[in-house]
Structure 1
Amino acid sequence: MSSKQVYILDTTLRDGQQSPGAGMSFEDNLQYAELAHKLRIDILEAGFPSASNTDFAIVNQISKNMAAINSAMRISALCQLREEQVIRTMEALAPSLAIGKARIHIYVPVDPELMPASLGKFAEDKPAIITTTYRLIKMMADAGFEVEFSPEGYSRQRENFDFVTDLIRNAVKAGATTINCPDTIGGASQYQGEEYFVHKMAKHKQIIETEFPDKDIIWSMHCHNDFGTALDNSLYGVFSGVARQIEGCINGVGERAGNVSLEQCIMVIRQFGHGAHLPEKYHTNIDISHLKEISDFIAERMLPRQPHSPVVGKNSASHTSGGHINAILKNPLAYQPFDPRDIGSEITFVFGPLSGSNHAQQIIHKFKYRCDDNEKVAVTQSIKDFYADRRKGVTDEELLQAYKYYRSPIKLEHLTYAKEDGGKTRVTFHGEFFAEKDLVIDYQGRGSALSALNKAVNNHLANTTVVDYNSHSKGSTVDALCISSIIIDVNGNRYNGQAEDEDIEISALKAFIDAVNNAYIETNFRV
C-alpha cells in the first residue's frame, strides 16, 4: 500500500508569536525561517503582514530570502476577510509568488459566539460574508496565489453547518485549494460524539468531493491545546482519513495553552503512520535530524520549554534510575521509544540517589580516571554521601569532584598553626593525613606553617616542593576572605591548588593540601 504525505504547516512565527511574551526580534524571525527550511517544513506561515509595518517587513524579507535560495518551502501569510489586507498580503509575498511558492491564508469566523464579537453587524449578513469570501479568494487565486481558507471557530459552528457549507463551497469555487477547519478555542474532543468537529469535517469533505469531483482539496487540522487534546484531535483528523495537513507550532507554543506541538505530530506519524489498523499509510517529508535544533531555538528565543516536554524536552532522553541506566548502557533503546540521535539529541544520564554503580563508573571513566569493578560500589556510595542533600541529582563535573574527594589522601576537618619562641612552628591537623589521623607537625628553623606541612607531606609523597604561590584578598573590606593559589612540583610534574580562608596562612595551607591531593590523584588514578 502506498503512503500518503501529511503536509506540515508551521505557524510558529504567526500563531506562536501571538502568545504573550513570545515575540521574537526581526533577525530571530529570519533565522527561524532558515531552520524551518532545513527541517523541510512544507508551508511556513511567516506572519500577519497587515498587523504592522514590522510584521509586513518580516514576511516580505522571509519571502525574499527563501526565493533567493529557491526553497521548496511555501511561504504563507494570514489575512482577514478585508480587501485592503488581501492586497497588503499579496505585496508581502510577491517574491514567493515569483517562484510559485506563495500561499495566502484567509479566514472568517463561523462560531455563533465569535461572529458578532469579531465582525460586528457584518455578522448578521451571511450572504454578504459568502459573497465577499468568494470575491477575495478569486482575486488572490487569479493573481496566482495558493489560497487556504479557514472558517474560524469551526469546531464550535453549532447551528451554522449549512452556512459553513456555503462558505466552503464558494471558497473552493473561487479557487481555494486548502480548507482548514480549526479548533480555535481548543475545546473539541472525541467525547462529543456526533458534534465532534472531525465528524463534521468528514461531512463537509464528502459534500465538496461530490460537488467538485475534479478538484483536489487538502483538508487541514489546526488545533489548540486548552484541554490538552490538540495532539489527539490533529492525529485523529489525519488517521481517520479526513485531513492531509496539520498546522501547529514547534514546542506547542501559541495562544493561551498553545497550538499542537509539531514535533509530537511528526514523530507520532513516523512511529504509528504505517499501522496495520489504519485505512491508509502516512508519512511526512520532515528531516527530523533538525528537530532538536529548532526546538532549542524556540526555547531560547521565544518561550521556555518544560524539561519533561515530549520528544524534545531535556528529560526526554535523560535517565537517573540505576536499573534503567544499566539496561541503556547495554542497549540505548532499552528505555527509549525512538533513538534520540535521530532528532539531533542524545541519551544522557543524571546521577542521583537512585543511580547505580555502573552509572558512576561510566562517568568516572569518561573523565579518564580509574574506578575498578571491585571498588565501584564503595565509590558510588561515597559520592552519594558527599551529596546526601542533593536529591535532584548532580552534574558529571560535580560527581567527579566527589570522586576526587574520595581519592584524596588528605581530608581536612580543622587546621591551626602557632609560632613559638625559638623559631619553632607547630601545625595541628585534624582529619585524615595519608595513613595517619589527627597529627601535630613541628618545624624548627626558618619558614612558615607551610614549610612544616610540606615536610610532613614528603614523608608520604617524596620530592614534593612548593614552586610558587600567591595570596590576595577577596574584596576590599578589612574582613575580606583571602584566596591563595599554589603550584607544587612532584618528581618533575607540576600541580595546582587553590583555597580560601579568613586567615592568609590557613588559606595557603589549604591550597597546598588541594595541590597535594591533585598530585596524588593524577599520579595514582588518572588513566
Structure 2
Amino acid sequence: MTTENTAAPVSERDRVIIFDTTLRDGEQCPGASMTFEEKLQVAELLDDMGVDVIEAGFPIASVGDFESVAEIARRSKRAVIAGLSRAALNDIDRCAEAVKHAKRGRIHTFLSTSPVHMKYKLQKQPHEVLEMIVASVTRARNHVEDVEWSSEDGTRTEIDFLCRCVEAAIKAGASTINIPDTVGYTTPAEYQALFRTVRERVPNSDKAVFSVHCHDDLGMAVANSLAGLAGGARQVECTINGIGERAGNAALEEIVMAINVRSDVLPYATGIEATMLTRASRLVSAVTSFPVQYNKAIVGRNAFAHESGIHQDGMLKHTQTYEIMTPDSVGVSKTSLVMGKHSGRAAFRDKLKTLGYDLGENALNDAFTRFKDLADRKKVIYDEDIEALVDQGIAAAHDRIKLISLSVIAGTRGPQRATMKVEVDGRVQTEEAEGNGPVDATFNCIKALFPHTAKLELYQVHAVTEGTDAQAEVSVRLEEEGKVVTAKAADPDTLVASAQAYITALNKLMVKRHSVNPQAAAG
C-alpha cells in the first residue's frame, strides 16, 4: 500500500469476517460449474488464503454437491465450512450431514421475506413465514452451534416485517444474520441505513453478527458491501472474481484491497493474505473457463499496466503517481521475463511462480512440455501465452474426451474437410467430416465422434498477443436442455484451439448433465 493515511493500528480496527461463496453462489453462474477435484482445489486455496467461512455448496442440490461439501469439510484446516439449505427440514438435515466432519461446521438456511417473493414464490402469508423461520433455525441449531439465517430479498422487504423476522431468527438460535441484496437493487446509503435501523430496532441484535451479501446488477455490489459494514455488519459474503448469478457478486479481492488501501476511512481488518489474491483469481478463472476482464480491479491484466506516455513518465519518476497499491501486495510481479525455446525448466518454474501458479511436479512437467511445443512454433512467448497454456492444462486434467490430432483441408476449392482423432474414455477414435468452412467441418467431426444435442450459442476468437504468430484464444458456449457451459482454449492454430474449446465445453456439459439444481437459491 502506498497511499499515506492516518489509519488506526490493525489491533484497534474492527475485524471483518470474510465469507466466500465462490463454490456455491459463484458456481450458480451459468456455465461456471466445477468438477469435484476442482472444488477441492479451490477450497484448499481459500483455506490457505485465510478465508474465515467457506460456503462449500448446496448439499441437497445433488449427490455430487453433497459429496464435495462433505469432503471439503473433512479436509478443512482453519476455515468454517458452511452448507446452504432452504427452510425445508430435510434440506437442513442433509446440510448437517455434509458439514458434520468439519472442525467447525455451519448451516446457512434462508427464506424469502419480501412481499413479491412471499406472494409469488412461496405463496405464504407473513405469519406462516415467521413460523417457518423459527422451525428451520431451531432444527439447524439442534444439529450445530453455528447457524446463519438469511432473509432472501431482504432489501425489498418491509422494514417492520424484516425486524420481526430477524428477532425471531436470533431468538431461535441464529448467531449470524444475513440481509442480502439478492437482486442487486439497493444503493449504499439505503443499505447502510437498513443495517443501522435493524440493529437499533431488534432488541436481541447484539447476540448476532450481521452479514452483507450483495449482487452486482447495478454495479454497486462492492460499494453496498462496504456501506453495510458502515451500518454495523461485520461479515461480508463475496466471491473470487465476483462470479455469481446474473451480474455476479461482490468481488472478494476488491473488498479486501479497499479495506487494506483505504484503512483511513474503512477502519476494519481481515485475515486474508492479500498476496494470494491473484493466484486465487487465476485458479477460479481456469476451472470455470470464465476469463477475467482486462480492466478488472486488482486482478485484471491491465490493473498494473501503463501505456500512456504521461503515465509512463510519472511511473518512472515515482510509482505512487499512478499506483495506489504495489503489484506485489496482491501477488503480481512487475518483472516480465522474455521466455522462448531456449528457456530451461528452472526459468519456467520461476516464471510460473511470478504469475501466481503453484503446480505439482506432474502438472509442471505437462505444462513445460506444452510450453516447449509452443516455443518451437512461436518466436516470443508472452506472459499471457503461458497463462493460457497453463489454464488450459488445469481445465483439461480430468476430461473424458481428449483431442489427439486434427488436420483440415480448406481454401477456395471446397468442400472443406476435417480429419480428427480423439480419445474418449481411453478409446481412440478417428473421423472425417465436411462442412461449410473449416470450423464447421471441425465441429461436425466432433459431433460424429461424440453424438450430442447441444446447441452452439457462442463462438468467439481473439488473439492472445500481437503478431501473426500469436496464439488464438477461442471461446465456445454450448446449451443443452437449459444447461449452459462455457469453455476456452488457446493455440497458434485457430482450428486446433476451436476443437479444444468445443471438446472442453462438451466435457463440462457431461458434468453438468448429472447436476440437479434446486428450484430456489439464496441471495
Indicate yes or no: 2:241 matched with 1:251: yes
Aligned to 2:210, the other structure's residue is in SS state: strand
Gaps of 5+ in 1: 352-394, 399-474, 477-527
Aligned to 1:314, the other structure's residue is in SS state: coil
Distance 1:397 1:103, change over 3 A: closer
Q: Which amino acid aligns with 2:18?
A: I
**Contact 1:11–1:46 (Cα < 8 Å) also in 2:** yes
1:223 to 208, 211, 214: 214
Distance 1:129 1:397, change over 3 A: closer
Number of positions where the alignment pairs a residue of Structure 1 with one of Structure 2: 336
- Counterpart Cα distance in 1 of 2:254 and 2:145: 30
Shift of 1:136: 2.3
1:87 to 74, 93, 96: 93
Counterpart of 2:259? 269
Counterpart of 2:185? 187
Aligned to 2:322, the other structure's residue is in SS state: coil
Counterpart of 2:281? 295
- Counterpart Cα distance in 2 of 1:274 and 1:3: 10
Indicate yes or no: 2:80 matched with 1:74: yes
Q: Which has the larger radius of gyration?
A: 1
1:202 to 193, 196, 220: 196
Shift of 1:113: 1.3
Indicate yes or no: 2:305 matched with 1:308: no
Determine which structure has greater relative contact order: mean sequence separation of CA pairs < 8 Å that are 6+ residues apart, divided by chain length: 2
Q: Which amino acid aligns with 1:263?
A: E
Distance 1:327 1:348, change over 3 A: farther
1:55 to 44, 49, 65: 65
Shift of 1:327: 3.9
- Counterpart Cα distance in 1 of 2:331 and 2:245: 28
Aligned to 2:23, the other structure's residue is in SS state: coil
**Contact 1:318–1:349 (Cα < 8 Å) also in 2:** no
Q: Which amino acid aligns with 2:108?
A: H
Structure 1, residues 103-126: CA drift from partner, whole Å, max 9, x if none? 111110012112233213xx12x2
- Counterpart Cα distance in 1 of 2:241 and 2:381: 29
Q: Which amino acid aligns with 2:214?
A: C
Structure 1, residues 503-527: CA drift from partner, whole Å, max 9, x if none? xxxxxxxxxxxxxxxxxxxxxxxxx
**Contact 1:222–1:234 (Cα < 8 Å) also in 2:** yes
Q: Which amino acid aligns with 1:92?
A: A
**Contact 1:179–1:218 (Cα < 8 Å) also in 2:** yes
TM-score by length of 2: 0.61
Aligned to 1:315, the other structure's residue is in SS state: coil
Counterpart of 2:49? 39
1:176 to 174, 180, 192: 174
Gaps of 5+ in 2: 1-7, 339-378, 383-407, 410-523
Counterpart of 1:24? 34
Counterpart of 1:149? 149
Counterpart of 2:395? none
Shift of 1:396: 6.9
**Contact 2:196–2:232 (Cα < 8 Å) also in 1:** yes
Counterpart of 2:434? none
Shift of 1:178: 0.8
Indicate yes or no: 2:225 matched with 1:234: yes
Aligned to 1:317, the other structure's residue is in SS state: coil
Shift of 1:217: 1.5
Counterpart of 2:501? none
Counterpart of 1:443? none
Identity of aligned residues (%): 34
**Contact 2:155–2:182 (Cα < 8 Å) also in 1:** yes
What does 1:60-139 align with in structure 2 at a 5 Å threshold? 60-66=70-76, 71-96=77-102, 99=103, 101-120=104-123, 123-124=124-125, 126-139=126-139
Distance 1:169 1:181, change over 3 A: same
CA RMSD of aligned residues (A): 2.6
Distance 1:314 1:137, change over 3 A: same
**Contact 1:154–1:181 (Cα < 8 Å) also in 2:** yes
- Counterpart Cα distance in 2 of 1:44 and 1:262: 12
Shift of 1:397: 6.1
Shift of 1:330: 4.9
Aligned to 1:316, the other structure's residue is in SS state: coil
**Contact 1:325–1:349 (Cα < 8 Å) also in 2:** no
